[in-house]
Chain A
Amino acid sequence: MQTNFLSCAVKTCKSSPAAFPLHFRDATLASTNVPYNPLLLTNLLPRLDWPALVTSSKELGFTLPDSKPSFPQLSRGDDGAVNVGTLKEEEETALRTLHRVLMETEVVEGKMVCGSCGFEYGIHQSVGNFLLPSHLGVYLHVVVFSRGLGMGDANHGSV
């Protein structure tokens, strides 16, 4: 799910629509057991960029509906209990499917590639590495020159 909130770290890519979402490549997936939390999910959903999520999920082999499903936004009552009873059965099923994709599926190893500059961010042990090659702005030279030389998709991103 975090791909829905990440784009390219290169400043010049921030304004480029192609920089979001980043594209998965060579992804190894794992499923982790995460407690199902309908309160979080139903309130999170309105904040998601659905088309980007569909794209990302597809790259990982999941098919989501083209349009964002709508659920009642759950809340916690004064007694602390969540009003899960307001969910219809099919909503509950759909929400659990989303939970599996969004919360329980993780990319353990792989890459995330920027559609704008071609930069590849490595994912190792489930942690994406978004550190640019140096703090000196060297990355800009890398990107600019490598593109200029027709090496836009060169494997220079993993550091």
Chain B
Amino acid sequence: MWRVGGCFAVMALIDDAELMICFLFGWAAHWKPASKALRFNGREMESDDGEWTAAERSAVGDTVATDKAQEREEVEWVCSGFDGLFGGCGRKRLCMGAGEDEGLSRSGDDSGTNAIGRDSRAHSDMANERGRMCVIEAGSRSTSRTMDTDPEAERGLDAGLYEEHYVHRVYDRIASHFSATRYKPWPIVNEFLSGLSPGSIGVDLGCGNGKYLNVNPDIYIVGSDRQESNQCQNLAEIAREKSVTQDTIASDILHPPHRPHAFDFALSIAVIHHLSSAVRRREAISSVLGLLKPAGEARALLYVWALEQKTSRRGWDENSPQDVLVPWVLSKQFTEPMEDQTGDTVNGVEPIFRYYHLYKNGELEDDIKSAGGKVLDSGYEKDNWWAIFERAS
């Protein structure tokens, strides 16, 4: 650990000091779940830790003043996902966006008593950015949060951190219950796997609880999912327990450790819609393509959530926003999260939000083509778009 610290410390002097220091401390800091919004209609809601310091209150006050011009009824969220990451830097509540460049990162070389004061300033500076960034459409049928502005521009280089909070940590928290709700393989995935010749070797990127690892006993799959090392229960381990004949690892779709061009097939079901920019989604597809053997020898199957699901509980249609935060509601009763993607309150418990990019008709195919793939077959199945493709060359 000290060597890690030392290593980071040396680098901190050289390059990207702020980010690394923050990362290092953040790693050690205990991550707290998404905290509540600060205000609703200008009214302060609640603090994530139940207490506000004077400096923080002042910061919130500043924010309120700045945003009074906003006429729409909306909840403004202080994106507290960085509480854990930047907690060690003395920061309490920060928002992504503008803050990352200036306000936040300066904290790396500072700590202690000055930190809160700096927080306040950064906080105020970021007020406008934040106001645009994360809003909830109050009164709409779904309480999924939508974003006013181009999410890519907003998240920018912070996309990884954004996903860390709005995707990975959510799944770490809801893994057990999520797994319990995911037991039935999709027919098209089943068909895809069953049609593979014996001895085929493949990857399941984002294998979740591993429900696809045992569909066809005559093939070999390296299942992977994201996992935080400090979580004892998580999807990769659940998958591992369920499929003794297959292997699972924890990895990131953008940095796959798999041998390049070595696989006969690849699956990635309900994964790339969690990546928060078009560039990253295409990068993920290109990552998948990079694992496949040449055209004609290997193919991949992708599933993504569709924007067009008028008949679903969500009720989204082609005119709905594509970048949304979808709630997963925690249940007091079971101490396990209970899924309710409509956002309807379940037992009055605060939902945990997951980020999704909802794919439009044809968008998946376009992404695959621009990533260097050739679509062999594609379609719509139960609120999802899917595509089977291979390397274009």
Contacts and interface: CB of A to CB of B under 8 A. Distances in A.
Interface in B293-349: none
Nearest to B197: A43
B236 to A, nearest CB: 5
B7 A8 contact: no
B49 to A, nearest CB: 25
Contacts of A154: 3, 7
A155 B386 CA distance: 42
Contacts of A156: 3-4, 7
B248 interface: yes
A111 to B, nearest CB: 13
Contacts of B379: none
Given A47-B201, A142-B11, A136 B250 contact: no
A75 B23 CA distance: 52
B153 to A, nearest CB: 18
Nearest to B201: A47
Nearest to B161: A135
A29 interface: no
Interface string A1-18: 110111111110010000
A129 B198 contact: no
A116 to B, nearest CB: 13
B184 interface: no
Given A2-B222, A37-B217, A145-B10, A44 B201 contact: yes
Contact of B249 (A41, A44, A127, A149): A127
Given A130-B249, A151-B3, A6 B10 contact: no
A85 interface: no
B244 A34 contact: yes
Contacts of A130: 224, 249-252, 255-257
Interface stretch (B12-20, B87-95, B141-149): B12-20
Interface stretch (B106-114, B118-126, B258-266): B258-266
A118 interface: no
B47 interface: no
Contacts of A70: none
Contacts of A131: 226-229, 250-252
Interface residues of B, number: 55
Give the dominant DSSP class at B's interface.
Answer: mixed
B255 A11 contact: yes
Contact of B160 (A33, A42, A127, A135): A135
A8 B260 CA distance: 10
Contacts of B260: 7, 14
B381 interface: no
Given A6-B249, A128-B249, A145-B14, A134 B23 contact: yes
B65 to A, nearest CB: 33
Interface in A81-136: 103, 106, 121-122, 124-136
B237 A43 contact: no
A9 B236 CA distance: 17
Contacts of A33: 244
A77 interface: no
A14 B262 CA distance: 13
Given A44-B201, A141-B16, A1 B23 contact: no
Given A6-B222, A40-B217, A145-B10, A129 B250 contact: yes
A40 B164 contact: no
B61 interface: no
Interface in A59-89: 73-76
A27 interface: no
Contacts of B218: 37, 39-40, 43, 76
B199 interface: yes
A141 B251 contact: no
Nearest to A134: B23
Contact of B257 (A6, A74, A125): A6
Interface string B151-166: 0000001011101100
A76 B194 CA distance: 13
Contacts of B199: 39-47, 73
Contacts of A121: 257
Contacts of B369: none
Nearest to A75: B198
26 contacts: A1-B220, A2-B247, A6-B222, A6-B259, A37-B217, A39-B199, A39-B218, A40-B217, A41-B199, A43-B199, A44-B201, A47-B264, A122-B229, A125-B237, A126-B248, A127-B227, A127-B249, A130-B251, A132-B252, A135-B164, A135-B252, A138-B19, A142-B11, A145-B11, A145-B14, A154-B3
